[in-house]
Amino acid sequence: MLKTRIIPCLDVKDGRVVKGINFLDLVDAGDPVKQATYYSQNGADEICFLDISASLENRKTMIDVVSKTAEEVFIPMTVGGGVSSIENIRSLLKAGADKISINSAAIKDELFIKKSSEHFGSQCIVVAVDAKKIGSNWIVFSHGGTVNTNINALKWLENIQKLGAGEVLLTSMDRDGTKSGFDLDLLKAATNILDIPVIASGGIGTKEHFFEGVSYGGASALLAASVFHFNEFSINDIKNFLLKKNIKVRINE
């Protein structure tokens, strides 16, 4: 049976991890390769790097991070943050990334999704969607959740599937950073209308939240950052918790 994936996300700025694991003396909290290796040896099903560098120049360091990680880490690696051209995607894939997450560039030009999935295959194109509830609708926000695009999020999700996205990374801006759990109504609405897998993100604070995301929200994968980095619980803690609740997960042997 297919397992629910648990994905730690590492924010990388100018080639260094921001808010890395800070509980192990052995691990350099700023070294992306060491962080990714640690997670892959401790139950992560995939690794996600999000480049939050401010300038284009500094984003080039990401290529180096990706290629060094690919030499050491043998689980799938998703890279996102500021990806805006076919050339960007090509260089990240060539460096060893397996999937590329695109966000603002897809909103600016939706055909970018079509072009990139036709070019590289749907399996490596993840579209990240940041949504916020306004009135009774969820609206897409771009540029790290700062710009209101006035696009209806559920319509946008249907659209990106049609355009060839292989997977969706869905973040609730209302819940992100609050530790109050996923926006389950948003997640459920999204997984109901989509045939492609949805990675849920934004709001995880407890183990119960992971369970809800799968059982009620229908997520195929769960992505979190700070709860892992600050060792509130480990990936294996969550997996053991989910197993007890009859959610199938991959256990390291």
Partner 1 sequence: MKKKIAIIDYGLGNVLSAQQSFNKVIKEYNLSASTTITKDPNLIDSSTHVVLPGQGAFKSCMSGLEKVSGMVDSLEKFALKNKKPFLGICVGMQLLAIDSEENGKHLGLGWIKGHIKKMPTKKLKMPHMGWNEVIPKLKTKSRLDFKKSDYYFVHSYYFECDDEKNILAHTNYGINFASIVFKENIYGVQFHPEKSSDQGLGLIKSFISL
Which positions are annotated as active-site residues? 11, 130
71 binds partner 1 (CB under 8 A): yes
Nearest-approach distance from CB 193 to partner 1, in angstroms: 12
Contact 30, 246 (CB under 8 A): no
Nearest-approach distance from CB 63 to partner 1, in angstroms: 12
Contact 147, 122 (CB under 8 A): no
Among 220, 223, 224, 239, binds partner 1 (CB under 8 A): 220
- The token duo for 57 is 């120049």
Q: What DSSP designation does 145 have? A: T
- Candidates 14-22, 95-103, 108-116, 237-245: pick the segment binding partner 1 (CB under 8 A): 95-103
CA dihedral angle for residue 82, residue 86, residue 88, residue 90, rounded to 10 degrees: 140
Category of 14 on φ-ψ map: left (φ > 0), alpha (ψ -120 to 50) or beta: left
Q: What angle do CA 124, 31, 53 make, to 5 degrees?
A: 60
Q: HSE-up of 205 (CA within 13 Å, CB side)?
A: 10
247 binds partner 1 (CB under 8 A): no
Nearer to partner 1, 124 or 153 (CB): 124
Contact 19, 47 (CB under 8 A): no
Q: What DSSP designation does 216 have? A: T
74 binds partner 1 (CB under 8 A): yes
132 binds partner 1 (CB under 8 A): no
Nearest-approach distance from CB 195 to partner 1, in angstroms: 6
Among 34, 39, 45, 169, binds partner 1 (CB under 8 A): 45
Nearest-approach distance from CB 72 to partner 1, in angstroms: 8
- Binding flags for partner 1, 198-217, as an x/- string (CB under 8 A): x-------------------
Among 166, 232, 236, 237, binds partner 1 (CB under 8 A): 166
- How far is the CA of 182 from the CAs of 92, 188, 200, in angstroms? 30, 10, 8
183 binds partner 1 (CB under 8 A): no
Q: Which amino acid is present at 52?
A: I
**Beta bridge partner(s), residue 199:** 169, 221
Nearest-approach distance from CB 99 to partner 1, in angstroms: 9
Interface residues with partner 1 (CB under 8 A)?
A: 1-5, 40, 45, 70-72, 74-76, 93-96, 98, 120-124, 166-167, 194-198, 220-221, 250, 253
